[in-house]
Structure 1
Amino acid sequence: MTTVALDLLGGDGAPGVVADAAATLLSNTANTGLRLVLVGPVDVARDQLVARGVDLSRVTLLPATSGVSMDASPLEVVRQDAQREVAETTVVVAARAVRDGIADAWVSVGHTGASVASAVLTLGRITGMQRPALAVVVPALASPVVLLDVGATTTGSVGALEQFAIAGHAFAVAVGVSSPRIGLLTIGSESGKGDELRVETDAHLATSLPARGLNYVGPVEGFDVTRGNRAQVIVTDGFTGNIVLKSIEGAAAWAAHQIGVAYGDSGPARGVIRHAAAGDFAGGLLLGVEGVTVVGHGAGTAAQVIGCVELARRAVEQNLIGNISTAMAELS
């Protein structure tokens, strides 16, 4: 049995989109081993679920009075709430559910900064991990590609990028990529290309990763993220990774529009958007904290929320946090 806590107030379509996702998940006979914890105003949660015919025996309702607005200072809001004995925000209550053993994982499609801050402050970093990284699974052509960091932090260092590579490898294995190849995102496939950080990191990874039995293929370029044939784990800093991810989303929207115009049929176009947004998994998994945390897109659909839950469940079932902890202990 896997229990996942869901932030009821996260995202542009909350609470309805989250409730739709919960209802769909619990009505699926393949999900008999799944329990949900809905975090938010209890009356609202109950009304939303009852209206959708959800069996409340498979749902725990945890009270929280508010989400974190997109114009708020996430670190300040979360830090203040984390100091309260009884937290008020959904992201802190959901993270505490994992910390306290009520849930195995938590998911929010709300404020990314608030979710990251809550996970770090509430769950703590894995011992030896310099900083967390948000990792996403890009549905590339040849093979899924794990891209990290896509925005947990905006700066990078050689040591942090090495840790991202190791954690990303464990993540790729957990989502079914066997013997993943690791690449460093830069502006050319030849060694020596890029800024000082990229050049130094490439030289370091070229010796450190093979010494750990990992397959490092060297520098890769932006188009490798969606091709998937050169590397299945692509490492970068969060500033660059976020720009790449948003560029992929924009390119998919452009392609979908062109398909709709060319064929006069929006159905295939919607399929392009859905696949680009989620593939088999949606959301970003926060690697480097002591608990499974998945952060989804604020404008996500119920299908994308479901994809986030599936990603969280896979991480729990594959003991991803334990595997990363072991790898970090060996690194130190």
Structure 2
Amino acid sequence: MGSTCVRIAIDAMGGDHAPGEIIAGALRARDELGVEVLLVGDPQQIQNCLPPKTNLEQVEIVPSEGAIAMEDEPLTAIRRMPKSSINVSMDLVKQKRADAVVSAGHSGAAMASALLRLGRLPGVERPAIGAVFPTIMASKQVLILDVGANVDCRPKFLEQFGILGSAYSQYVLGVEEPKVGLLNIGEEDCKGNDAAVRAHQLLRENPQIQFVGNAEGRDVLSGRFDVIVCDGFAGNVLLKFAEAVGEVLLQILREELPQGLNGQIGTAILKPNLRRIKQRIDHAEHGGALLLGVNGVCIIGHGSSQAPSIFNAIRIAKDAVDHEVLQRIQSQYSTLQSESS
């Protein structure tokens, strides 16, 4: 398994720190992960951000015209700016010139562009953004979806998120039999509103999902679940809260470590442990979220992404391509549709 040369289209103009930090992360990924990167954006700005003595023959720059601002209405903007960096990036995947897209720009625009240019996988009604969270179990992560693509969800969408999340968890995260939960206000089957009760029933009856019940807020990071499904409103609140908690914990560690010579000695001894703590709780280490359900690999990064986040987002994209996540998900849906017909 694995691609001989994965090509990633990078939206170099998307994000608060574009294009400098985006380019720095992309070049690091090229050197350390062995991927080819296509930097999409304004050629002059990209060249101005390249390190001195960069061999331009090793860097492919794909021209685009403008970038979609965070305050723009997504669908209107991508139609008004067909040659914007996110649209050109998606076109590269559609044309098979790239295997995946990474963008830290307007997440709504990235999703709208993916839907219009790449389309949905057959059988998928609504794509979902899946984000990986750490848990209290050192070797285990949990995939949450949706974290922002669909504010309102019908029960059928939540069932489909369970299928999408299970496939990703199994084939990319390496979980043999992913345990799926439904975010809810209680563990009992009857808890929640009508949509939650109906979603619970659909998830429980789906033979392709190992559904283990409702997940309360305190269960999200417990390690009991491998996948948790929810609507994009609750998921996005959960995502932003988890990011804030991680930042608070890192700041507390900085403040509470002893000062002076003893502090330096203690910090040196604890350095490997502190590095592992940072890797587990710092959202920059996770890079971005995969837009699951569209006919292409698309990673949506944080708007505030800097070089380390972009590097990790590209790593996620490479993993998804190497593990053939699109083909796996499509196979799951083909099986489901044949069984229901």
TM-score (norm 2): 0.88
Q: Which among 91, 94, 102 is matched to residue 107 of structure 1? A: 102
Quick check: 1:250 aligned with 2:244?
yes
Quick check: 1:163 aligned with 2:164?
no
Say if 1:36 and 1:58, in contact at 8 Å, map to a contact too.
Answer: no
Quick check: 1:4 aligned with 2:17?
no
**1: CA distance, partners of 2:41 / 2:112:** 18
**1: CA distance, partners of 2:96 / 2:334:** 24
Say if 2:185 and 2:192, in contact at 8 Å, map to a contact too.
Answer: yes
For 1:91, the equivalent position in structure 2 comes to 86
1:147-226 superposed matches below 5 A: 147-173=144-170, 174-208=172-206, 211-212=207-208, 214-226=209-221
For 2:60, the equivalent position in structure 1 comes to 60
Task: Give the deviation of 1:103 after TM superposition.
Answer: 0.3
Runs of 4+ in 1 over 4 A off after TM superposition: 264-274
Say if 1:184 and 1:218, in contact at 8 Å, map to a contact too.
Answer: yes
**1: CA distance, partners of 2:306 / 2:28:** 12
Distance 1:69 1:44, change over 3 A: same
**2: CA distance, partners of 1:72 / 1:272:** 37
For 1:309, the equivalent position in structure 2 comes to 314
Say if 1:163 and 1:328, in contact at 8 Å, map to a contact too.
Answer: no
Distance 1:52 1:5, change over 3 A: farther
Q: In the TM superposition, what whole-angstrom CA distance separates every residue of 1:3-28 from its partner, at most 9, and x where no partner exists?
A: 00001111111111011112222332
Q: Which amino acid aligns with 1:310?
A: R
**2: CA distance, partners of 1:67 / 1:273:** 32
Say if 1:145 and 1:232, in contact at 8 Å, map to a contact too.
Answer: yes
Aligned length: 319
Q: Percent identity?
A: 34
Say if 1:23 and 1:53, in contact at 8 Å, map to a contact too.
Answer: no
Say if 1:189 and 1:220, in contact at 8 Å, map to a contact too.
Answer: yes
Distance 1:23 1:147, change over 3 A: same
**1: CA distance, partners of 2:238 / 2:323:** 28
Distance 1:63 1:157, change over 3 A: same
Q: In the TM superposition, what whole-angstrom CA distance separates every residue of 1:274-330 from its partner, at most 9, and x where no partner exists?
A: 542447642010011000000000111211111110111111111111111122222
Quick check: 1:126 aligned with 2:131?
no
CA RMSD of aligned residues (A): 2.0
* Greater Cα shift, 111-120 or 319-328: 319-328
Q: Which has the larger radius of gyration?
A: 2
**2: CA distance, partners of 1:113 / 1:207:** 32
Say if 2:243 and 2:283, in contact at 8 Å, map to a contact too.
Answer: no
Distance 1:16 1:275, change over 3 A: farther
